[in-house]
Amino acid sequence: MDDLLAKYPNDLKVVIKNFPLSSHKQARRAAQYVLGAEKVKPGSFKEMYHKVFDDYRSLRQNPDMPLEVAKSLGLDVDAVLAAANDPAIDAQIEREINQLKNAGFPRLAVPKFLVAGKEPQGKRSVEAWSVLIEAELKKKGITPSPVDIKKPVKPKG
């Protein structure tokens, strides 16, 4: 998603909804911690989310790992914990779960990516998604303004 946002900085909006799977017992609490961090320090969601999601497997042994991440980001851990326990955050997660359940998707696998409210099929790549994004923009009469995001090639050796 970060590559797509970099490619379409003026045309693309990413909305993240929480859908903690019941098979991942720590997922809901992790979502509460990440949303709590955002409440404590607006703008911290993205970095907190990425760090927790990148290491999600460690949640099984350490369900409070997101609090360690919050601390590493310089956030007040007690404030994050208090915010995570706010009933409004739990209500938000429940609303988002119900939105996805009621959206009519045949599979509720996550993460789920949508373009104009529809779930693309096939390979998840910047190239494949660019075709879909540009087609949707053109339908709306918007001329896409992609930025070249080619990554530098690492030298061999």
pLDDT of residue 25: 87
**Band of residue 153 on the pLDDT scale cut at 50, 70, 90:** very low
Tokens 């104009």 correspond to 116
Give SS3 for 83.
helix
| Segment 134-139 long-range contacts (CB within 8 Å, at least 24 positions apart) | 137/11
Assess whether pLDDT exceeds 80 at residue 103. Answer: yes
- The pTM score is 0.79
Give tens-digit pLDDT for 6-63.
898 888 888 888 888 888 889 999 999 999 999 999 999 989 999 998 998 999 999 9
Q: Tokens in use for 3?
A: 């590559």
- The H helix count followed by the E strand count for the chain is 7, 0
Report the run of H or E that residue 56 belongs to, with start and end.
none
Give tens-digit pLDDT for 51-78.
998 998 999 999 999 999 999 999 999 9
The residue that leads in pLDDT, 24 or 153, is 24
CA distance 92 to 38: 13
Q: Tokens in use for 30?
A: 């992790």
pLDDT of residue 157: 47
Q: What is the CA radius of gyration of the chain?
A: 18
| Segment 129-132 long-range contacts (CB within 8 Å, at least 24 positions apart) | 129/4, 130/4, 130/7
**Band of residue 151 on the pLDDT scale cut at 50, 70, 90:** low
Q: Tokens in use for 32?
A: 């509460």
Give tens-digit pLDDT for 122-135.
778 888 888 889 99
CA distance 55 to 68: 12
